[in-house]
């Protein structure tokens, strides 16, 4: 995502010369898009979150006015590198750039929630908060924190794939906590159930409806989870399988952790390792995956795990890799198609007048 | 600004003018920063502590004065670092020493414990649980500021055979009430024991009695179920997803709930400051039987964050605003000064007190810059000031111990940081930023402007500390089998006196 010029108020560069942050000048300036239109290129990061919030508010208001049910997918750029924050949140936290970015995100969540209340939609809206993967430890002090979990982004250890998740729906979801096993892929069938939409019958859906424990007093219908690596190979099968609170690792490789990271299996330079016999952990007693269990004391557990692994290995049909289909300049969004010198010529006039007229803040 | 300060002090004066408030200090044993739901534990099994935090103040940057129990507890009660109050050893460099059964020393009479001063101010005082400031009677709580005691001078290690080692006694006040395992059972195979329930009941009875008598009270509630060997009562066994350790945490959480509810029911919640914390970091060497230190490096016995950062909550409805968080760098030694402040007792001026009153923070959120000193035995290992922590010495444990399975930093190995030799970094301390890097993983390079600026702040603090330090006489150098609990006071009444062996005083061996 580069070159994004200014990341912190008033003029802190995203990738100042000599800093540890890198800027790939072969990429177009990061665009801000609305439907088919590039509104800003490069996007003004100092006001981006505010614009997102204004857009969210506008969508909520418009639909509230028309009593139209709506789905809002608010997918933040926070807290990915390069981190950024508006004036109000620059230097606002103890954690530095990452903390400021997170605080800016947190503010935006609050704005959305209060807008729902404002339009009386609070009791009729299912809100779900989560993250796409574990923290990018490669950025060291500017990376996130997986707490007591092992490793981070890019690995099949818990730190790579266990996510902070909050579900909210007053009257439908009991306040408190649940430790039921669930995954982001479970949102799909859960939403299908909520909306009465038919599940597609021509593809395999891996998600499992979360309704029993989210909206009722039931337990999760999911008792397993399958972890594939970031570069899966059909013959290798899943890297790890969780069954109830046990998790077995069959192979792993390092992710996005730096050479100085204290746990070598997380480091980017840690090559692919096969575990035969597999490594087994009890995630309830040992969420950090530190203490390998004796397999001869967990024969039934391993049988169940092997069954799940074999099932996936024998039935999963890999889709055509989209990542392997290569890269092309044509795929990059450019405000002035065909301009030169590419890619730095891909810019809009700033500020965008369209933005100012369309997304004027609501009083 | 001046005006605001005056207002605050007037308010504080109003708070303490009528009758000084009650104090309940709950100190856990080996519980880690990451064990509470409110501090991010994934099991989320501490509803009462989470509620306590929601109704009170969370203090995420709060430290014990030492990574081991005895020195930590002695420092809390004296308001002074162990290097000053004598709770350390000089037998070998930078060793953690404590008070096992055969320790000769204990808390010196020359030290002033804050409950001694609270007595003078008319407080009823009681300790429930583990004392750990000395085994011999002259060191016991009733000689050092407490009216009442139910608990033990030691951890609940055992069972012993009463021949080579006596079982550890449990006291009621100045006399023993029995011994662990024989009279106060702990089933080592199932982990069942009702000790936490006894400690909860003792607290309930003491609070009832003190409220009835109308005197202010200080309760030091310090159960030890989360210290190895772990235990929980039948009702709580196998109720936690975390295993026996979690069972123990759940029962303690329940106890916190009982005590807070009672204070509310008796109408004294608004007159009572309740503090929850732990004596040192989670015992990472105990593996699944130890606590969680959350994102922090290593654990108990070390001067990394996992060894000394404690899960701290303050609760005082009507005075401490609910749901607040203070990043004040706090120390357990601050409870000394806070207690005296609340009771309007002048701090002793004939000695250095390392604590500071937390009242301005609790009442008004006013944060004050101050350093945190991380000692291991006789050595100042590290210093934190603001967000920076500089390690002058690093050590986990010896490679020999490590190779025999004792690992203070499981799953964590940072070159030049988690060292198995004692490494002196004094000429160029290792520096971390604990805001951006709470896990102490990413060293700040010495040539950077950030390093130079931070060390400009920290080095003068360290120099001044060394220059002015008057070390107390070390109390934890000598061990003797004759001082073990063979014949504690009151053993005659129970017919439990064991023959005392001959004196054989030697230097204690402290391996790490």
What does the pLDDT look like over A339-350, one tens digit per residue? Answer: 999 998 999 975
Q: Which residues of A touch B44 (CB under 8 A)?
A: 177, 179
Residue B215, pLDDT > 70, answer: yes
pLDDT single digits (tens) B303-335: 999 999 999 999 999 999 999 999 999 999 999
Residue A67, pLDDT > 90, answer: yes
B246, B412, B436 ranked by CB distance to A263: nearest: B412
Mutate which: B32, B411, B414, B431, vs A, most A CBs within 10 A: B411
Task: Determine the CATH number of domain B20-370.
Answer: 3.40.720.10
User: Do B355 and B62 meet the contact criterion of CB atoms below 8 Å apart?
Assistant: no
Extents of the domains making up chain A: 1-125+334-363
Is ipTM beyond 0.90?
A: no
- Cite the beta strand spans of B174-315 per DSSP E: 175-179, 217-222, 272-278, 312-315
Residue A350 is given by DSSP the state S
Query: In this predicted structure, what is the pLDDT of residue A26?
Result: 83
pLDDT > 90 in chain B, percent? 96
Q: Which residues, at least 6 apart from A14, have a Cβ–Cβ distance to it below 8 Å?
A: A2, A3, A4, A5, A6, A7, A21, A23, A45, A82, A84
Residue B14, pLDDT > 80, answer: no
Query: In this predicted structure, what is the pLDDT of residue A20?
Result: 63
User: Do B168 and B180 meet the contact criterion of CB atoms below 8 Å apart?
Assistant: yes
Among B89, B111, B108, B114, smallest CA distance to B100 is for B89
Q: Which residues, at least 6 apart from B121, have a Cβ–Cβ distance to it below 8 Å?
A: B20, B216, B343, B344, B345
Query: In this predicted structure, what is the pLDDT of residue A16?
Result: 73
Partner residues linked to B275 by β-bridges? B25, B314
Q: Do A285 and B288 touch (CB under 8 A)?
A: yes
- C-alpha dihedral (A28, A29, A34, A38), degrees to nearest 10: -70
* A294–chain B Cβ distance below 8 A for any pair: no
pLDDT single digits (tens) B147-173: 999 999 999 999 999 999 999 999 999
Query: In this predicted structure, what is the pLDDT of residue A362?
Result: 42
pLDDT single digits (tens) B89-107: 999 999 999 999 999 999 9
Sign of CA dihedral B61, A21, B431, A88: negative
Q: How many CB atoms lie within 10 A of CB B313?
A: 26
Residue B7, pLDDT > 80, answer: no
pTM of the prediction?
Answer: 0.88
Minimal Cα–Cα distance from B455 to chain A, Å? 18
Minimal Cα–Cα distance from B370 to chain A, Å? 16
Architecture of domain B379-468: 2-Layer Sandwich (3.30)
Residue A196, pLDDT > 80, answer: yes
Residue B406, pLDDT > 60, answer: yes
User: Do A249 and A239 meet the contact criterion of CB atoms below 8 Å apart?
Assistant: yes
Work out the mean pLDDT of chain A and round it to a whole number: 92
Query: In this predicted structure, what is the pLDDT of residue A18?
Result: 66
Length of chain A: 363
Query: In this predicted structure, what is the pLDDT of residue A352?
Result: 46
Extents of the domains making up chain B: 20-370, 379-468
Residue A3, pLDDT > 90, answer: no
Work out the mean pLDDT of chain B and round it to a whole number: 96
Q: Which residues of B touch A140 (CB under 8 A)?
A: 437, 441-442
Class of domain A1-125+334-363: alpha beta
Residue B68, pLDDT > 60, answer: yes
Domains B20-370 and B379-468 belong to one CATH topology: no
């Amino acid at each position: 995502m580069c070159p994004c010029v200014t990341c912190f108020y008033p003029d802190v560069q995203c990738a100042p010369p000599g800093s540890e942050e890198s800027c790939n000048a072969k990429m177009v300036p990061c665009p801000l898009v609305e439907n088919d239109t590039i509104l800003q290129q490069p996007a003004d990061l100092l006001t981006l979150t505010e614009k997102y919030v204004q857009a969210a508010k506008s969508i909520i208001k418009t639909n509230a006015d028309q009593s139209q049910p709506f789905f809002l997918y608010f997918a933040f750029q926070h807290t990915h590198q390069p981190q950024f924050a508006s004036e109000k949140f620059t230097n606002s936290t103890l954690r530095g750039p990452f903390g400021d970015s997170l605080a800016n995100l947190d503010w935006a969540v609050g704005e959305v929630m209060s807008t729902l209340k404002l339009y009386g939609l609070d009791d009729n809206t299912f809100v779900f908060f989560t993250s796409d993967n574990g923290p990018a430890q490669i950025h060291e002090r500017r990376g996130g924190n997986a707490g007591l979990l092992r490793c981070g982004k890019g690995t099949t250890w818990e730190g790579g794939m266990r996510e902070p998740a909050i579900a909210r729906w007053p009257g439908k979801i009991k306040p408190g906590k649940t430790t039921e096993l669930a995954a982001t892929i479970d949102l799909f069938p859960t939403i299908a159930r909520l909306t009465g939409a038919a599940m597609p019958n021509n593809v395999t859906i891996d998600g499992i409806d979360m309704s029993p424990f989210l909206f009722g007093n039931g337990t999760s219908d999911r008792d397993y989870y399958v972890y594939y690596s970031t570069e899966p190979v059909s013959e290798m099968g899943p890297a790890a399988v969780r069954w109830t609170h046990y998790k077995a690792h069959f192979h792993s490789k390092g992710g996005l952790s730096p050479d100085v990271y204290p746990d070598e299996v997380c480091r980017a330079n840690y090559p692919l390792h096969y575990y035969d016999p597999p490594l087994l952990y009890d995630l309830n007693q040992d969420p950090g995956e530190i203490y390998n269990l004796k397999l001869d004391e967990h024969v039934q557990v391993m049988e169940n795990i092997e069954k799940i692994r074999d099932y996936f290995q024998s039935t999963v049909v890999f889709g055509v890799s989209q990542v392997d289909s290569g890269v092309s300049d044509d795929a990059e969004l450019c405000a002035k198609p065909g301009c030169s010198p590419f890619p730095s010529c891909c810019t809009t006039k700033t500020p965008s007048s369209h933005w100012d007229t369309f997304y004027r803040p609501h009083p | 600004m001046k005006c605001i300060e005056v207002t605050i002090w007037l308010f504080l004066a109003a708070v303490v003018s009528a009758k000084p408030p009650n104090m309940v200090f709950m100190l856990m044993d080996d519980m880690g920063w990451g064990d509470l739901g409110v501090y991010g534990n994934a099991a989320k099994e501490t509803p009462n502590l989470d509620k306590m935090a929601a109704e009170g103040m969370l203090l995420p940057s709060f430290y014990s004065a030492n990574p081991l129990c005895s020195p930590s507890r002695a420092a809390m009660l004296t308001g002074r670092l162990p290097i000053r109050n004598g709770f350390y050893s000089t037998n070998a460099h930078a060793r953690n020493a404590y008070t096992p059964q055969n320790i000769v020393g204990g808390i010196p009479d020359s030290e002033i414990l804050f409950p001694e001063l609270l007595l003078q101010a008319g407080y009823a005082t009681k300790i429930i649980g583990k004392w750990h400031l000395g085994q011999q009677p002259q060191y016991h709580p009733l000689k050092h500021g407490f009216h009442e005691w139910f608990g033990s001078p030691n951890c609940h290690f055992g069972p012993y055979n009463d021949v080579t080692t006596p079982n550890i006694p449990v006291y009621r006040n100045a006399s023993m009430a029995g011994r662990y395992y024989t009279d106060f059972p702990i089933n080592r195979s199932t982990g069942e024991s009702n000790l936490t329930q006894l400690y909860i009941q003792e607290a309930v009875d003491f609070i009832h009695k003190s409220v009835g008598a109308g005197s202010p009270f200080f309760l030091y509630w310090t159960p030890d179920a989360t210290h190895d060997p772990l235990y929980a009562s039948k009702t709580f066994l196998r109720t936690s997803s975390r295993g026996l350790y979690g069972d123990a945490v759940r029962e303690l959480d329940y106890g916190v709930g009982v005590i807070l509810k009672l204070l509310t029911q008796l109408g004294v919640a608004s007159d009572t400051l309740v503090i929850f914390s732990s004596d040192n970091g989670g015992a990472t060497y105990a593996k699944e039987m130890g606590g969680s230190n959350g994102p922090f490096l290593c654990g108990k016995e070390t001067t990394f964050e996992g060894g000394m950062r404690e899960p701290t909550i303050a609760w005082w409805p009507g005075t401490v605003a609910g749901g607040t968080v203070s990043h004040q760098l706090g120390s357990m030694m601050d409870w000394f000064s806070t207690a005296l402040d609340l009771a309007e007792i002048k701090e002793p001026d004939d000695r250095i007190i390392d604590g500071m009153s937390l009242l301005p923070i609790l009442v008004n959120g006013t944060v004050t810059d101050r350093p945190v000193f991380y000692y291991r035995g006789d050595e100042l290992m590290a210093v934190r000031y603001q967000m920076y922590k500089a390690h002058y010495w690093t050590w986990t444990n010896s490679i020999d111990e490590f190779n025999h399975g004792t690992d203070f930093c499981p799953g964590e190995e940072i070159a030049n940081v988690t060292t198995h030799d004692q490494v002196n970094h004094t000429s160029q301390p290792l520096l971390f930023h604990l805001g951006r890097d709470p896990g102490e993983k990413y060293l700040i390079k010495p040539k950077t402007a950030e390093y130079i600026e931070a060390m400009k702040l920290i080095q003068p603090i360290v120099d001044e500390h060394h220059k002015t330090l008057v070390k107390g006489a070390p109390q934890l150098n000598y061990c003797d089998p004759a001082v073990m609990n063979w014949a504690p006071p009151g053993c005659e009444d129970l017919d439990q006196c064991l023959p005392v062996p001959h004196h054989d005083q030697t230097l204690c061996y402290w391996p790490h």
